Amino acid sequence: MATKLFIGSLSFSTTNDGLKAAFEAFGEVEDAVIINDRETGRSRGFGFVTFVNDDDAQKAIDGMNDKELDGRTISVSVAREREDRPRPQRDGGSFRNKSW
């Protein structure tokens, strides 16, 4: 079963390929992705690495948590499922749309 890891405090210069390469030392990586801001396209400073094997994922946590990658000390943990949260309603901020 695949295990997805959350990687936090990433350098803005870290790439998907660089992230994958850093974690391949611990086992077979299925996927590595850095999350980017929708508007600017710039890294948001975190990402996810999915390992094919659970034991390799644990080795990566033990080996990479609180270690340096691209000049930053990163945090590595098992990713949690995304919580379903209601999205805030946006009215566009128009004065006319306000109900006084």
pLDDT at 43: 96
pLDDT averages per 10-residue partition of the chain, 100 residues: 94 97 98 96 97 97 98 97 75 58
Domain ranges of the chain: 3-35+44-76
Please state whether 26 falls in left (phi above 0), alpha (psi between -120 and 50) or beta. alpha
Q: Which of 67, 73, 64 is nearest to 32 (CA)?
A: 64
* Beta bridge partner(s), residue 75: 8
pLDDT at 98: 55
Q: pTM score, two decimals?
A: 0.82
The fourth-level CATH superfamily of domain 3-35+44-76 is RRM (RNA recognition motif) domain (3.30.70.330)
- Residue 50 corresponds to which tokens in the numbers above? 């999915």
pLDDT at 100: 58
pLDDT at 9: 98
